[in-house]
Amino acid sequence: MILAKKIRLYPTAEQEYKLWRSVDTARFIYNWALYKQEENYKNGGKFIKDNDLRKEITQLKKDELTWLNEVSNNVAKQAVKDCCNAYKNFFKGLADKPKFKSRKKSKPSFYNDTSKLKAKEKSVLIEKVGWIKTKEQIPIGVKYTNPRVSYDNKYWYISVGIEINQPLVKLTDESLGIDVGVKELAVCSNGMTFKNINKTKEVRRLKKSLKRKQRKVSLKYEMNKIKKGGENRCQFKKTNNIIKLEKEIKLIHRRLSNIRLNYIHQVTTKIVKTKPSRVVMEDLNIKGMMKNKHLSEAVAEQSLYNFKIIMKYKCEFYGIEFIEADRYFPSSKLCSCCGSIKKDLKLKDRTYKCSCGLNIDRDLNASINLSRYELAV
């Protein structure tokens, strides 16, 4: 099984400049390839193969885009491949329509060729950047897959897939159902409940600080507004204070993201350590839930999709069967005692009351029903 290892890098000022050049190149080539595909589609042409796009880039390097020679050829090559894969997945219905990558919003990252990636004692060789110091040793003498260098608004990292042997774990006969939601992150059929991390004191303090700084930036932009041309046309002057505040906002976003991701890892590890024979989760319509203006923020903060992905790979690692229940399976409306369906159950009803006398928490009832999924079908 392949597991990704993420290690912090310590580049010098010169190396960091080269890393940013590679990031900008990857983003530029991805956007260029996407523009080519969209224009070709509008004109009624067939899908352009990534090999044809790469040949065109080779010609552009000689004439117009000579600055592309400053970075590794594999950065542009993989950016084209990523774009073509994203475009293919869109037409297959596996993903949303690919969008152009923005300098402000997109994650700064690029690919490093596996054959060119070399490691020695607490150092790694990045193509056309040089040897960069690392926080810990990258495993030597193993096969690397999909190495990516990324930046998270504070530090540089390298993520690399390494093949490892799966541990032999003796599993129980338990079928575990997990009901995820907004009130609680996860409620398990065995009685385990995991709270919503966004309701904790630390997260609330950070969110309060974030809103305060965002208001401050907004006011400073209004103060430095310069009218240009007509009444409704204006230009915003970015002062040093605005740049400083925007950097602080990015760091708070990073901190919140890390807290949520760390909590998801802790929860999923606790669940798989119970060693069930199988885990059943519901297939939530996250896109549909995000359309609800009253719930969209809470749903986004819970990172439910990340929870499912992490749960899935940890189950695979320990040899636990992972099942995703059908989206239309009535786990919440179905009585876990008599099997009748309560059609008039509303979202505000947090306790499930059945005519058979069952009085149980709504989420616990759903998780019990999920644990029995396909066993009774």
- pLDDT in the model for residue 340: 83
Q: What does the pLDDT average to over 243-257? A: 95
108 and 10 share a domain? yes
pLDDT band at 19 (very low <50, low <70, confident <90, very high): very high
Q: Select from 25, 18, 149 the least CA-distant residue to 77.
A: 25
**Distance (Å, whole) CA 112 – CA 118:** 11
In a domain, 219, yes or no: yes
* Domain extent at residue 23: 2-163
150 and 48 share a domain? yes
Q: What does the pLDDT average to over 63-70? A: 89
Polymer length in residues for the chain: 377
In a domain, 305, yes or no: no
In a domain, 45, yes or no: yes
Greater confidence, 290 or 377? Answer: 290
Tokens 């003498």 -> residue: 141
Read off the tokens for 165. Answer: 């042997």
Single out the residue in 233, 263, 293 at which a domain terminates. 263
In a domain, 361, yes or no: no
pLDDT > 70 fraction of the chain, expressed in percent and rounded: 98
- pLDDT in the model for residue 84: 95
119 and 28 share a domain? yes
20 and 65 share a domain? yes
136 and 13 share a domain? yes
**Distance (Å, whole) CA 225 – CA 228:** 9
Tens of pLDDT along 175-208?
A: 999 999 888 999 999 999 999 999 999 999 999 9
- pLDDT in the model for residue 336: 84
Tens of pLDDT along 214-230?
A: 999 999 988 888 777 66
In a domain, 106, yes or no: yes
29 and 109 share a domain? yes
- pLDDT in the model for residue 377: 46
- pLDDT in the model for residue 229: 64
90 and 209 share a domain? no
Distances (CA, A) of 104 to 27, 79, 82, 83, 234: 11, 18, 20, 19, 21
**Distance (Å, whole) CA 366 – CA 377:** 16
| pLDDT mean across residues, the chain | 91
- pLDDT in the model for residue 337: 84
Maximal CA-CA distance, the chain: 79
8 A C-beta contact, residue 118 and residue 132:
no
- pLDDT in the model for residue 326: 87
Q: Select from 22, 327, 45, 334 the least CA-distant residue to 151.
A: 22
Read off the tokens for 61. Answer: 């390097």
123 and 253 share a domain? no
pLDDT band at 75 (very low <50, low <70, confident <90, very high): very high
157 and 9 share a domain? yes
Single out the residue in 263, 278, 312 at which a domain terminates. 263
Tens of pLDDT along 76-109?
A: 999 999 999 999 999 999 888 999 999 988 999 9
In a domain, 134, yes or no: yes
3-state secondary structure of 334: strand
- pLDDT in the model for residue 375: 61
Pairing of strands 234-236, 225-227: antiparallel
- pLDDT in the model for residue 348: 79
Tens of pLDDT along 152-180?
A: 999 999 999 998 888 888 999 999 999 99
> Is residue 290 predicted with pLDDT exceeding 60?
yes
In a domain, 240, yes or no: yes
The number of angstroms, rounded, from the C-alpha of 144 to the middle of its chain's C-alpha atoms is: 22
Amino acid at 128: K
Q: Give the chain's domain count.
A: 2
- pLDDT in the model for residue 230: 63
19 and 108 share a domain? yes
143 and 9 share a domain? yes
217 and 146 share a domain? no
8 A C-beta contact, residue 174 and residue 274:
yes
In a domain, 301, yes or no: no
Single out the residue in 110, 138, 163 at which a domain terminates. 163
Q: What does the pLDDT average to over 362-371? A: 90
Q: Please, what is the angle between helix 240-272 and helix 304-318, to 10°?
A: 40
